Structure 1
C-alpha cells in the first residue's frame, strides 16, 4: 500500500486553526502520513509546521491565478485535502 498523502490548507491562519493544523500534522506524520501544509509564509514563521515533520508550501492569502495554481498543484494526487476557514475553501 502506498503512503497516504494529505494537504492542510490555511487561508489566514488564526491562532486556533493554526494550532489545530499543527496538531493534525504532528499526529498524521507520526502515523506515517505525508503531510503538506499550505498557508501564507507568516503563518509558518509563527507556527513552524515543518517542525512537525510536515512539508510547508507558502501560498499567499489571495486568489490570483498564481496562488490558485500553486495550491492546486500541491493538492494534485492528495488522498485528503482539509481546508481550514472560508478563505482557504475559496482557493481550492
Structure 2
C-alpha cells in the first residue's frame, strides 16, 4: 500500500497555523506525507519543516499565478484539507476540473 498524501491549505490566520502545525505533526507521526500550503513565513513560525512536513509558500491571493502554485502543490494528493473560507475558495478553484 502506498503512503497517504495530504495537503493542508491555510488562509494565513495565526489560529489556523497553530492547529495545522499540531495536525501535521500527528499525521506525520502516523506515516502520512503532509504538505502545508500557506503564505511565506507562516510555516517557519510554527516549526512546520521541523515536524517532517513539506512547506510550500503560496500567496494568499486568487490570481492565476497563486492558483497555479496551489494546483501544483496539490498534484498527486489523496486528500486536500482547506482551513478557513478563503483557503477553501482558493483550493476549490485550484482543484476544479481534477478527476
State the TM-score, normalizing by the size of structure 2: 0.87
- Structure-2 residue corresponding to 1:38: 37
Show structure 1 runs of 4+ deviating over 4 A.
none
CA RMSD, aligned part only?
Answer: 1.0
Distance 2:8 2:30 in 1: 16
Unaligned runs of 5+ in 1: none
Counterpart secondary structure, 2:27: helix
Post-superposition Cα deviations, 1:39-61, rounded to whole Å, max 9, x if no partner, equal: 00121232121111000000011
- Structure-1 residue corresponding to 2:86: 87
Equivalent residues in 2 for 1:1-92, closer than 5 Å: 1-12=1-12, 14-92=13-91
Task: Kindly indicate whether structure 1 or structure 2 has the higher relative contact order, using CA contacts under 8 Å at least 6 residues apart.
Answer: 1
1:6 Cα deviation after fit: 0.2
State the TM-score, normalizing by the size of structure 1: 0.93
Distance 2:3 2:49 in 1: 18
- Give aligned pairs, total: 91
Distance 1:19 1:35 in 2: 15
1:76 Cα deviation after fit: 1.5
